[in-house]
Structure 1
């Protein structure tokens, strides 16, 4: 009554606040019946303005809260400068179970019965989603644990008062929805547990009580958007009907009708996300680069809206109306409420300044699209590497859709991607998203810059350090390192290759010369002014210590010895690559690897005609140089591999070069054979169980382990941790990003500060670790860790620790003489 009294006599000349209250009063007096009839009864609905919530407040509490209108208004009614929110208590414990189904409709039939058990969340993932997740490095193992034939899953989470309480809730659910299943906990459901009469739909279940396992389940579900957009073809799973909501009991019929509709258009969709409140993210596969594809999108949106209304739903359950869904509010709510929305908008915003067009405006969802029939892409050059994804280089350049997965920080997101963004305090251009979208826009003509111009290369691509973190951590699989290599290679073709890049690319020659001139080459580095001279002439940071060369190379040592394992007695034979770093500067690591391998019964030889892997040239985008090196190495190694020999590298970046990057540079059976039979040394011990043959003294030491970023990118970083733990070490496996050295990047004067800013992230983790000393397999990583304050000496390679532990343990000085 107070509101209605206040509204009396208000006209267009009164202040906006008075006119707002007058309009709210009118709505409550004149529109109540229409609101009650038109608004769906849903847990989640954000279509239009919250008139139903406004009305419910009046009915239930006798009050009017205009803030209800502001919430979810998408900035069309005002600007929120402050808000008071209520909080929910954090549960004491959580329990999760992943139910599997033979069909997404079966999963939908199970939602309503599951809701009777009071879960905190019920999330669906269908076969399209799971198939795409299976192709990603991050989630392939998890999807591989699902029963064969799984076409949908429901992730069900319970909040609980204790871990045992959570286990009992899962047991009760399983007893009802999958009665033949034996819970991992062995618990029987509690007395009085809910029993529904619904038919059994689920096939199997995966339980999760460990927080890490739960987080893995949830991470895959939450990565739904980028996983679905990991297709690199012109057809993509677009989000124009992704936010519809219907009552949970209507989901089976609704989804069946949606499938039939998409069949009419010869397409299909993925169905995932919030099945519990009936909010499905439905993403049809459509080519918006074609004119008929844009019209298909519009027609599907229109017809899906009809189904939403038929099943008592809403066109937007949580994401809002925006440009994609605003137009359908007219059909959802009818002309009367549509005009009420517009009148309310004009009352709050007479000049239509605030986000005009949203909620009740004239947006046409066919306009302002990233891709349409006028879109053109021209890289400006022919890529030189193999791109086995659909649409090749172009498909990868267009892959980023802006999910922001690359903008997480070390203490929240963890993992490798994206180290430069983390080190620069949120500069967008230093993220994978920033670089990828700038590259796409330049190649599609949206930016005036040529992507191979010096300014573009320096401003957009220069700080990408090639860690490959995005190759795995980006749920869509944007491979920014490979994109950069192609673009910068073309830049080299046009502008030439700088002297410093040529020097760094020819590490085999450079290190070989340093070894032959040792110890004079080492003395020269120590002379006063040597660092300044290197910086002025080659741009090598004066702060860096250059490698120390030795005349006693690994090859010389190997030629002077006799193998302790005869080829005839060995179960496995392996070629250990004498890479330039191991051969000329740290032969003790190669010696340790050979001793450990022979102790495990492996016959080891060093191939005389293989050294440099081509990684240094590849890291400088000198792809022709890298290809020639790769071709020579494959020609040398392939005959050995065909005879049953394995190839081993102690340097992680070289191992990844053979295993992964060679396949981008070369084609054919030989390179595939070499790639498939190459291993990092710790990977080799783990994969074939060779460490089980070692007589090692239990170390009992606590280590902090920093894995190599490129091994992490191809999911081979865990092997060293597994082997070290079996050898008796306690290992804190750091969830770390790149060390920041990134091969030659950290040596370059203009990049030194960035290198150290990235390294600080790692140094902090090492300092916080309970490990007594840090261990790392990468040469660059160990050099960078030597910079950490308080570190005493360069950290060891994991293989050196195993060597120390052989036969009761050797002292490091004894084995390095």
Structure 2
């Protein structure tokens, strides 16, 4: 394709093509190019060009499809990058006009002011887009209440396969007659579809899934058209938009949609019955749906067990009573919470009387309810993070039957599993007869491929026997299209192909999805031909068993693509740029593709180096990613490999080895401070070291902490218990007052403070990918640290990233014969906040303030990811303050990242997303707490506000 003649540009570089080769499914197809249209006119131009040159088009939003709908070998059109405008909200008539790239939660944040919402609530609502929801006819957790996207789409503006435009909406009989007379592709579509339905209506209704099944999305929605006028005189007005819902982008390209908004229910209550078996849970579901719940979701023991090993989801297990085999999460909505509580209690009693459940916690607190649903929504990602042995390909996870049939259906399904000697995860939408069933199969073995194919056929036949739907909401795509015939019958296939031909004569839209599919086993991400990376690394990758396994953790669910408004920290660079290459998923896909192909040579990949450039190594992905992808560690490993061939730049050496330069600068601190402020020096620093001249470098203290500590008079000679206080180079040279405050606090409570003779643990070196240097530091420090731990001494750190390096990277960076020591040291290591909180707790410290002062906390990224903010909240509460943890994400500084010329703008953009606005809104005399050195300096640079370390606040 001649890119110069196409508007918008079709990106055909290898990096972009690799980034769009995967979605959240089992498939991987390298497209010929990727386009990012800004308007309907752009889409029209692309469609006309594709038709002229015989290229296929794959529409794509967030790329969270599970059946392979958004992978294709032609041109991928990403509508999310630019076509993401909410064009109009009409609160009186309760509708909104949106472009296809609008994220569902973003729409609901705007409509919240009117107490309205777009109802369908998938597990991916913080990143999935309305165009994708239309394409898949998405439903989600509350489908028993809101049904499917189809019920909420009023009109669709679309580009047809010849590049013409049309609007599909409800039509009167007279309007329909006019449409059929049009001498255009639109008119042809109306004439032919009406004729097809008229000739085959009885046959369609006979072969399609049972109408009682809310989630029926197999093939094209011809059964829905059969319910409309003119075929049913008192039926709904004829609306082709209902056919486009669930058509997976195979018929037309959505450019805008008018969607229905529904009133929010002000109150809700959650009840969580626990069960000893899946059968009991499903029998209970038949009872539950009689009480009109808004949702009833099944979560089985495999997912519940997976939450134990996920840092983020461990916190959301609070409501579990023991170790249930499975649970139902049931929500009741309404106007009166007391009535809802009574309903929940009545249901719990009824299930107990039926000997189905003996425990059913009721949750009414809004934040706790959110945590319950967050655990449920993490289900898929948790499953895909279980490693290769627990991998569950998504070839049959979307079947739906009537709720009353569900217990027997699952028993029959279990027989198929037993016959093939495999296990299955059971979870999701029990209230509407759909469970996400994901058998554990290793597709990297030839027998695994054969097992999947055989089971897919048997499951399709089972679904047919129950008049069920092969796809409830995730679509047919690549995974289920080959088996539609088994469910709907051979009589229906010519009709489906006819629909495709009517709309898309030349087959340019998402070819091979729904009709004319490739075999199930083609283009799999993992297959017997997959070459597992076997790489020499510096980290040992002990939890994952190998670097190759670590590269396979990402499942494509795209949690890293959520925007800043959705909260959390992952992934700060994507939140700022909204480019796939800056997401954890994008980087992880490049890692896997390149290393599985080039093996050790991939360490020299320019593509990967570019994608990692804006990674802040914040570690948010280690906890917020359901699969626990640790991109910070992967970046460090790659960067070390890059250094091995290309060397280390002067700027990288400066930031990573500042400890060697600081003693020189500190000989004359006032002079050093004057020099680094001079414009000419700033220019030189920018030119030679890449330090952005717009930044103010930290000032050197006139007296270092160590000078003070070693010369001060002993204030507590009778001190009892000894503690070790790690003083990092930033505290020693730049902010010794923080170290002084920490010593004074510890000594006040009777501790004898010992300060080691080193200031580095290797954090800057790890961040810069200088792992051999970091390992040398580890080798020097570990014996000293072990000697402290052997004596039972707590090892306390003031800088979160430094002390947490002992608990995180040291465990994997050390050699096998050092592992026991490293783990022992980690067990004795504490952040200042953790240890100080325990001191106050042990001393039963009362509040000394008659009126509690509010302290606003910006948490450090590594703290949030690895241990959470509970310690700092506990500390400040115990000290008599009222702590308020701000949801400010990443500050954007991330060590040296924000100081670097190439990163300054992105660094500030990240700060502007949430941190800076949150602080600007606080009164001038507010106390701001930020344990991180970089965070405090970013706050000063971005807002002019002073933030304090917890030790300072305690001593003040």
Output the CA distance in 1 between the equivalents of 2:714 and 2:413: 68
> Which one of 492, 495, 499 corresponds to residue 646 of structure 2?
495
Using the TM superposition, give the Cα deviation of residue 362 of structure 1 relative to its aligned residue in structure 2, in angstroms. 3.6
Q: Could you tell me which residue of structure 2 aligns to residue 763 of structure 1?
A: 916
> Which one of 221, 230, 234 corresponds to residue 61 of structure 1?
234
Q: Could you tell me which residue of structure 2 aligns to residue 430 of structure 1?
A: 582
Contact 1:102 1:203 survives alignment (8 Å): no
SS in 2 for 1:159: strand
Q: Could you tell me which residue of structure 2 aligns to residue 134 of structure 1?
A: 308
Q: Which runs of 5+ in 2 are unaligned?
A: 1-171
Output the CA distance in 2 between the equivalents of 1:373 and 1:633: 44
Contact 2:176 2:238 survives alignment (8 Å): no
Tell whether 2:291 aligns with 1:117: yes
Q: Could you tell me which residue of structure 1 aligns to residue 860 of structure 2?
A: 708
Q: Could you tell me which residue of structure 2 aligns to residue 740 of structure 1?
A: 892
Written as runs of structure 1 = structure 2, the 5 A alignment for 1:261-660 is 261-378=416-533, 381-412=535-566, 414-424=567-577, 426-445=578-597, 451-453=602-604, 455-561=606-712, 564=715, 570=720, 572-607=721-756, 609-660=757-808
Output the CA distance in 2 between the equivalents of 1:70 and 1:21: 16
| Greater Cα offset, 63-72 or 163-172 | 63-72
Q: Which runs of 5+ in 1 are unaligned?
A: 180-198, 805-817
Contact 2:192 2:502 survives alignment (8 Å): no
Q: Could you tell me which residue of structure 1 aligns to residue 266 of structure 2?
A: 92
SS in 2 for 1:743: coil
The alignment of Structure 1 onto Structure 2 pairs a total of residues equal to 773
SS in 1 for 2:603: coil
Contact 1:233 1:390 survives alignment (8 Å): no
| Greater Cα offset, 695-704 or 205-214 | 695-704
The one-character-per-residue Cα deviations of 1:44-103 (angstroms, maximum 9, x if unpaired) are 100022232222334472454443333322233334455444332211211112221122
Contact 2:316 2:374 survives alignment (8 Å): no
Contact 2:204 2:222 survives alignment (8 Å): no
- How does the TM-score come out when normalised to structure 1? 0.89
Contact 2:399 2:471 survives alignment (8 Å): yes
The one-character-per-residue Cα deviations of 1:215-258 (angstroms, maximum 9, x if unpaired) are 11111111222111002326511110010001112222222222
The one-character-per-residue Cα deviations of 1:276-312 (angstroms, maximum 9, x if unpaired) are 0011111111111222211211111111112212233
Using the TM superposition, give the Cα deviation of residue 550 of structure 1 relative to its aligned residue in structure 2, in angstroms. 2.8
Using the TM superposition, give the Cα deviation of residue 6 of structure 1 relative to its aligned residue in structure 2, in angstroms. 9.7
Output the CA distance in 2 between the equivalents of 1:681 and 1:16: 68
Contact 2:846 2:880 survives alignment (8 Å): no
Following TM superposition, the consecutive aligned residue runs of length 4 or more in structure 1 with deviations greater than 6 angstroms are: 2-7, 13-16
Output the CA distance in 2 between the equivalents of 1:31 and 1:107: 38
Q: Could you tell me which residue of structure 2 aligns to residue 231 of structure 1?
A: 386
SS in 2 for 1:293: helix
Judged with a 3 Å threshold, the aligned counterparts in structure 2 of structure 1 residues 640 and 17 are, in CA distance, closer, same or farther, namely: same
The one-character-per-residue Cα deviations of 1:87-138 (angstroms, maximum 9, x if unpaired) are 3221121111222112222211211001111101010110111111221000
Using the TM superposition, give the Cα deviation of residue 430 of structure 1 relative to its aligned residue in structure 2, in angstroms. 1.2
Tell whether 2:938 aligns with 1:784: yes
Judged with a 3 Å threshold, the aligned counterparts in structure 2 of structure 1 residues 287 and 563 are, in CA distance, closer, same or farther, namely: farther
Output the CA distance in 1 between the equivalents of 2:465 and 2:801: 58
Q: Could you tell me which residue of structure 1 aligns to residue 210 of structure 2?
A: 40
The one-character-per-residue Cα deviations of 1:487-536 (angstroms, maximum 9, x if unpaired) are 11011111111222222222322222222332332233244522122222
Output the CA distance in 2 between the equivalents of 1:121 and 1:5: 38
The one-character-per-residue Cα deviations of 1:607-636 (angstroms, maximum 9, x if unpaired) are 2x2321111111111111111112221111
Output the CA distance in 1 between the equivalents of 2:650 and 2:175: 82
Tell whether 2:355 aligns with 1:176: no
Using the TM superposition, give the Cα deviation of residue 695 of structure 1 relative to its aligned residue in structure 2, in angstroms. 6.5
Output the CA distance in 2 between the equivalents of 1:284 and 1:574: 51
Judged with a 3 Å threshold, the aligned counterparts in structure 2 of structure 1 residues 496 and 348 are, in CA distance, closer, same or farther, namely: closer
Output the CA distance in 1 between the equivalents of 2:208 and 2:771: 63
Using the TM superposition, give the Cα deviation of residue 19 of structure 1 relative to its aligned residue in structure 2, in angstroms. 6.4
SS in 2 for 1:478: coil
Using the TM superposition, give the Cα deviation of residue 15 of structure 1 relative to its aligned residue in structure 2, in angstroms. 6.6
> Which one of 795, 798, 803 corresponds to residue 955 of structure 2?
803
Q: Could you tell me which residue of structure 2 aligns to residue 260 of structure 1?
A: 415
The one-character-per-residue Cα deviations of 1:699-758 (angstroms, maximum 9, x if unpaired) are 632222101001111023331122112323222211122211111112222222222222
> Which one of 132, 135, 154 corresponds to residue 328 of structure 2?
154
Output the CA distance in 2 between the equivalents of 1:81 and 1:739: 35
Using the TM superposition, give the Cα deviation of residue 588 of structure 1 relative to its aligned residue in structure 2, in angstroms. 0.9
Judged with a 3 Å threshold, the aligned counterparts in structure 2 of structure 1 residues 508 and 82 are, in CA distance, closer, same or farther, namely: closer
The one-character-per-residue Cα deviations of 1:406-449 (angstroms, maximum 9, x if unpaired) are 1112222x11111111122x11111111111122222233x999
Output the CA distance in 1 between the equivalents of 2:912 and 2:506: 51
Contact 1:573 1:644 survives alignment (8 Å): no
Output the CA distance in 2 between the equivalents of 1:139 and 1:132: 9
Contact 1:250 1:311 survives alignment (8 Å): yes
Output the CA distance in 1 between the equivalents of 2:842 and 2:281: 45
Output the CA distance in 2 between the equivalents of 1:20 and 1:135: 54
| Greater Cα offset, 331-340 or 161-170 | 161-170
Output the CA distance in 2 between the equivalents of 1:352 and 1:540: 53
Judged with a 3 Å threshold, the aligned counterparts in structure 2 of structure 1 residues 337 and 613 are, in CA distance, closer, same or farther, namely: same
SS in 2 for 1:648: strand
Q: Could you tell me which residue of structure 1 aligns to residue 194 of structure 2?
A: 24
SS in 1 for 2:448: helix
Judged with a 3 Å threshold, the aligned counterparts in structure 2 of structure 1 residues 541 and 77 are, in CA distance, closer, same or farther, namely: closer
Output the CA distance in 1 between the equivalents of 2:523 and 2:777: 47
Output the CA distance in 2 between the equivalents of 1:85 and 1:212: 29
Written as runs of structure 1 = structure 2, the 5 A alignment for 1:655-666 is 655-666=803-814
- How does the TM-score come out when normalised to structure 2? 0.77
Judged with a 3 Å threshold, the aligned counterparts in structure 2 of structure 1 residues 45 and 525 are, in CA distance, closer, same or farther, namely: same
| Greater Cα offset, 127-136 or 542-551 | 542-551
SS in 2 for 1:529: helix
Contact 1:648 1:655 survives alignment (8 Å): yes
Judged with a 3 Å threshold, the aligned counterparts in structure 2 of structure 1 residues 581 and 693 are, in CA distance, closer, same or farther, namely: farther
Judged with a 3 Å threshold, the aligned counterparts in structure 2 of structure 1 residues 614 and 232 are, in CA distance, closer, same or farther, namely: same
Using the TM superposition, give the Cα deviation of residue 24 of structure 1 relative to its aligned residue in structure 2, in angstroms. 2.8
User: Which has the greater radius of gyration?
Assistant: 1
Output the CA distance in 1 between the equivalents of 2:261 and 2:564: 27
Judged with a 3 Å threshold, the aligned counterparts in structure 2 of structure 1 residues 688 and 56 are, in CA distance, closer, same or farther, namely: farther
Using the TM superposition, give the Cα deviation of residue 382 of structure 1 relative to its aligned residue in structure 2, in angstroms. 0.6
Output the CA distance in 1 between the equivalents of 2:951 and 2:779: 29
Output the CA distance in 2 between the equivalents of 1:45 and 1:596: 64
